């Protein structure tokens, strides 16, 4: 499943706004990356999804503790967040959009992302009008533990407006964004030398546009890290800023998450071993079923050959074998007829078995025999008596059933 990851433009959303985008099939490797207007963005496919990335400079992060009684998606949760953040924000809370940290629980500290509500809504509506509805909205950088377990630093922007971003910073593992200057490098600890310093931070990652400036300010080489790589990393996070009035329905979110998980399992490099294991298991199952079916066919063919052999050896006059069991039964009936012996389906054996099985004192008023079935009238048998009668008859290979006062007895099992 393909994923289209696009970075929202900080400018006023509209048909002419351009979006930097990355198209990926596994969430780790970019198939294509470029910039285009909403109408010219590539199609991720029917089963794909579109992920929008909110630039770091358009988000502010705030640490709050939810009061007891406010669940993660309680209807009054937005009002609670407005009350908690009202004194910290410069703009009116009605004009802002709030997104709560995934897995936030009442009574524990949690992060809240805040951005311009009208801007985000207009950006999502523009993309939807262009046929690229957004499945998730993720932050470019998110607070919380980093992959390395230490603070990580990124130099982003342009030579005219370079910025330094720190993730996993401090005890709260916050996101901090400052102008890229020697003072900010020193204040965040990004300028610590790695030589002989066990507590040195991770290498500074820089976009190509500001890599030279970062190296000059830092005094050592930096690691190149493109905006496309950053977008891929952001899309793999568990944040979704589309909450409250911008949230999709629960069913839609579940389907999108299931599709994303299926696409990840199908293409992500870390699941390659699992895909091989599933493939080997399926092949083993198919081979095993075929071997079992072949053995069953051989056993059935051997039984059929044994029955045909018994028929031809016992009755040499039978030349053409069509249905060996039926033909054998016919030949046995002819032998019994020629010898004057009785078949279990004849009148006398059926009457003898029925008479021995009937309860004491039960005598039929009339009887009929036709086609191997004995019909008795005038018996007064309840359901329990018929069950007892059947148990006795089945021991001899017969079966009885009662219908409209008529007891019918016939041979059920050839003995």
Average pLDDT, the chain: 85
| Between 175 and 402, the higher pLDDT residue | 175
Using N-to-C axis directions, what is the helix angle for 272-314 and 324-339, rounded to 10°? 20
**Rounded-to-integer distance, Cα 115 and Cα 140, Å:** 13
Task: Indicate whether 227 pLDDT > 90.
Answer: yes
Beta strand pairing status for 49-54 and 136-139?
parallel
Q: Are residues 376 and 243 in the same domain?
A: no
In a shared domain, residues 131 and 13 = yes
Domain count, the chain: 4
What is the rounded distance in angstroms from the CA atom of residue 357 to the CA atom of residue 396?
10
Q: How far does CA 95 lie from the centroid of its chain?
A: 38
Element (H, E) at 293: helix 272-314
Q: Is the full-model pTM beyond 0.75?
A: no
For residues 114 and 254, state if they share a domain.
yes
Same domain for 88 and 14? yes
- Each residue's pLDDT tens digit, 90-120: 889 999 999 999 988 888 899 999 999 999 9
Q: Is residue 190 a part of any domain in this protein?
A: yes
Domain identity same for 106 and 38: yes
pLDDT at 11 over 80: yes
Most confident of 68-77, 260-269, 351-360: 351-360
Identify the helix (H) or strand (E) that includes residue 403: strand 398-403
What is the predicted pLDDT for the residue at 328?
Answer: 81
**Given the DSSP bridges, would you call strands 373-377 and 205-206 parallel, antiparallel or unpaired?**
unpaired
- Can you tell me the distance from the alpha carbon of 139 to that of 115, in angstroms, rounded to the nearest whole number? 10
Query: Tens digits of per-residue pLDDT, 323-355?
Result: 888 888 788 777 776 776 677 777 888 888 888
Residue 85, pLDDT > 90, answer: yes
- Among the three residues 290, 320, 339, which one is the final residue of a domain in this structure? 339
Provide CB contacts within 8 A for 244, sequence distance 6+: 77, 78, 97, 98
End residue of a domain, out of 302, 322, 339: 339
DSSP string, 337-356: HHHTPPPTTSHHHHHHHHHH
Distances in Å between the alpha carbon of 389 and those of 153, 169, 343? 90, 87, 22
The whole-number pLDDT of residue 195 equals 41
Task: Classify each residue of 160-176 as buried b or exposed e, where b means 16 or more C-beta atoms within 10 Å of its C-beta.
Answer: eebbbbbbbbeeeebbb
CATH number of residue 71's parent domain:
3.30.420.380
Is residue 122 within 8 Å of residue 12, measured between CB atoms? yes
Same domain? 161 vs 135: no
**92 & 17 share domain:** yes
Confidence (pLDDT) at 193: 45
d(CA 6, CA 35): 9
pLDDT tens, position by position, 133-177 = 999 999 999 999 998 888 999 999 999 999 999 999 988 999 999
**pLDDT of amino acid 76:** 80
Q: Which of 143-157, 243-257, 386-400 has the lowest mean pLDDT?
A: 243-257
Phi and psi at residue 143, to the nearest 5°: -70, 165
Pairing state between β 18-24 and 3-7? antiparallel
Say if residue 181 is in the same domain as residue 219: yes
For CA atoms 174, 177, 180, 183, give the dihedral sign.
negative
Query: Distance between CA 23 and CA 43 in Å, rounded?
Result: 9
| Maximum alpha-carbon separation in the chain | 119
CA 25 to CA 271: how far, in whole Å?
13
Same domain, residue pair 298 and 351:
no
3 state SS of 392: helix
**Cα Rg of the chain (Å, integer):** 41
Q: Would you state the pLDDT for residue 245?
A: 85
Q: How high is the pLDDT of residue 262?
A: 58
- Burial of 199-225, coded b for 16+ CB within 10 Å and e otherwise, reads eebbbbbbbebbbebbeebbeeebeeb
């Amino acid at each position: 499943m393909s994923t289209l990851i696009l970075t929202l433009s900080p400018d006023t959303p509209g048909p002419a706004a351009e979006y930097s985008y990355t198209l990926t099939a596994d969430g780790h490797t970019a198939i294509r990356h470029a910039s285009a207007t909403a109408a010219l963005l590539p199609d991720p496919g029917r089963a794909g999804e579109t992920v929008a990335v909110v630039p770091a400079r358009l988000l502010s992060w705030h640490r709050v503790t939810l009061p007891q009684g406010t669940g993660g998606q309680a209807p009054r949760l937005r009002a609670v967040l407005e009350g908690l953040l009202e004194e910290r924000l410069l703009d009116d809370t009605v004009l802002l959009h709030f997104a709560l940290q995934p897995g936030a629980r009442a009574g524990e500290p949690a992060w809240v992302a805040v951005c311009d509500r009208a801007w985000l809504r207009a950006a999502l509506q523009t993309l939807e009008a262009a046929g690229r509805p957004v499945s998730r909205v993720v932050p470019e950088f998110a607070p919380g533990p980093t992959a390395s377990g230490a603070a990580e630093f990124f130099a982003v922007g342009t030579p005219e407006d370079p910025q330094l971003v720190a993730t996993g910073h401090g005890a709260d593992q916050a996101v901090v964004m400052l102008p890229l200057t020697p003072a900010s490098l020193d204040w965040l600890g990004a300028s610590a030398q790695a030589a002989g310093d066990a507590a040195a931070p991770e290498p500074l990652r820089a976009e190509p546009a500001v890599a030279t400036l970062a190296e000059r300010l830092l005094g050592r080489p930096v690691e190149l890290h493109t905006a496309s790589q950053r977008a891929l990393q952001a899309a793999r996070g568990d944040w979704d800023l589309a909450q409250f009035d911008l949230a999709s329905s629960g069913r839609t979110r579940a389907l999108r998450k299931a599709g994303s998980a299926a696409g990840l399992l199908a293409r992500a490099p870390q699941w390659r071993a699992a895909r091989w294991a599933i493939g080997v298991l399926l092949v083993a199952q198919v081979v095993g079923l075929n071997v079992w079916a072949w053995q069953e066919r051989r056993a059935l063919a051997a039984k059929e050959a044994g029955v045909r052999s018994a028929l031809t050896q016992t009755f040499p006059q039978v030349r053409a074998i069509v249905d060996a069991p039926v033909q054998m039964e016919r030949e046995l009936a002819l032998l019994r007829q020629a010898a004057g012996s009785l078949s279990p389906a004849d009148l006398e054996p059926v009457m003898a078995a029925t008479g021995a099985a009937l309860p004491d004192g039960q005598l039929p008023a009339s009887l009929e025999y036709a086609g191997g079935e004995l019909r008795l009238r005038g018996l007064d048998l309840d359901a329990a008596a018929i069950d007892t009668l059947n148990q006795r008859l089945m021991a001899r290979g017969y079966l009885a059933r009662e219908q409209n006062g008529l007891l019918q007895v016939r041979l059920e099992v050839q003995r």
